[in-house]
Amino acid sequence: MKLLHFSDTHLGFSEYFKIDPDSGLNQREQDFYNAWHQVIDAIVAHRPDVVVHAGDLFHTPRPSNRAIRTALESIQKISDAGIPFIIVAGNHETPRIRTTGSIFESLALFPNVYAAYSGACERFRINDVDFYCIPHCSLTEEMDKAFATLKGTAKSQAKVFVSHGAWGGEYGMGEFNEQRLPDVEQLTRVHFDYIALGHYHRYVTVKENACYSGSTERTSLNEHNSTCGYLLVDLDSGERIYHDIATRPMIKLSIDCTDLTPRTIYDKVEEVATPAVREAIVQLVLKNIVDEAFLQLDVREIDAMFADAFYLDKQFLRITTEANRFLSHTKIESLPIEFERFLAALENKELDKQKLVQLGAHYLESD
């Protein structure tokens, strides 16, 4: 049996105020739909025996009409092609209150769609292969019960386990409601031919027969060096092939500004602002900036060097001194910093500038 495993598609995710000129949608929202469509096209092209989505199909429990339509349209296509589609709910789309109802109830209406979303273990049999699916559970007791029902499973040709969470407590995303998954084989003494995991946004093999496929787009700059794609798994031979998809580049750049003047900082920034930043989400970290250089920096000069980038996140890490310890972690475009820069540029030598900076920061930050 050939299986296509993907996960964490986060349909409906949006970020930054940029509009896609073609669709009129938030550009990042569109990026996530583009990634999704690449996998759907791959499913139609590869025609696997079964498709497994390991959770976080949607970014929220109440996705937008556009996100729902995108998902339904594609799932209809897979359903029409006669390819079984197995999906478990992730933490992002699971409502906190059961009575809210799950969007997955609607997905389950399609023929060939097998959705696990009700906080219990579900078993779906496809061509004599059993798929044991544990969705995100809102309560620990629910999850313990779900795992308990896995013991003493029925005889089948092969077994696959599908779930969403942080395997062994590792592979977390730092989210408050994420669930910790035990090593299902150790816990139940059941051997699985394959374990398809979702939640961790990076393709990684956690043990011989268990993988996270990773996400299809990146939801945070922390994922800047993760690939995005899907996994093709051959249950009979054990062969697994990971396929990359094309996504918006995300780049982190860092410059050590120790002893640099604004002029030499601009030069260094210009060196790193290569053509690779075009249409990319870029984080530029300028660390160890001395106060004098920091207060004289013209942010517009730096912005101009990244005019081709999709988005530039600038981080200025000042060397903390007695004089700036109140403001060393404040953003450069904030009012207290503007005020500090204004005072630094004043010629007046009689003013106690340090005291004024502190007073200004106090008034500007209090409500």
89 or 312: CB nearest Mn ion = 89
93 in contact with Mn ion (CB under 5 A): no
CA 294 to chain centre: 32
Among 1, 4, 6, 8, binds Mn ion (CB under 5 A): 8
Question: Least CB distance from residue 163 to Mn ion, whole Å?
Answer: 13
> Min. distance of Cβ 353 from Mn ion in angstroms?
47
Residues in the chain: 367
**Residue 31 in contact with Mn ion, rule: CB under 5 A:** no
Mark 33-72 with x for binding to Mn ion (rule: CB under 5 A) and - for no binding.
-----------------------x----------------
Contact pattern for Mn ion over residues 232 through 251, marking x by CB under 5 A: --------------------
Considering only the stretches 8-16, 21-29, 237-245, 315-323, report the one whose residues sit in contact with Mn ion under the rule CB under 5 A.
Answer: 8-16
Whichever of 29 and 130 has its CB closer to Mn ion, that residue is 29
d(CA 300, CA 289): 17
**In the complex, minimum distance from the CB of residue 92 to Mn ion, in angstroms, rounded to a whole number:** 6
Binding-site size for Mn ion (CB under 5 A) equals 2
Q: How far is the CB of 56 from Mn ion (least distance, A)?
A: 4
Q: Minimum distance between the CB of residue 350 and Mn ion, rounded to whole angstroms?
A: 57
- Asked whether position 217 contacts Mn ion by CB under 5 A, the answer is no
Q: Are strands 229-234 and 2-6 parallel, antiparallel or unpaired?
A: antiparallel
By beta-carbon proximity to Mn ion, the closer residue of 92 and 159 is 92
Residue 292 CA: distances (Å) to CA of 2, 6, 89, 175: 62, 50, 52, 39
Shortest distance (Å) from residue 198 CB to Mn ion: 7
Q: Which residues bind Mn ion (CB under 5 A)?
A: 8, 56
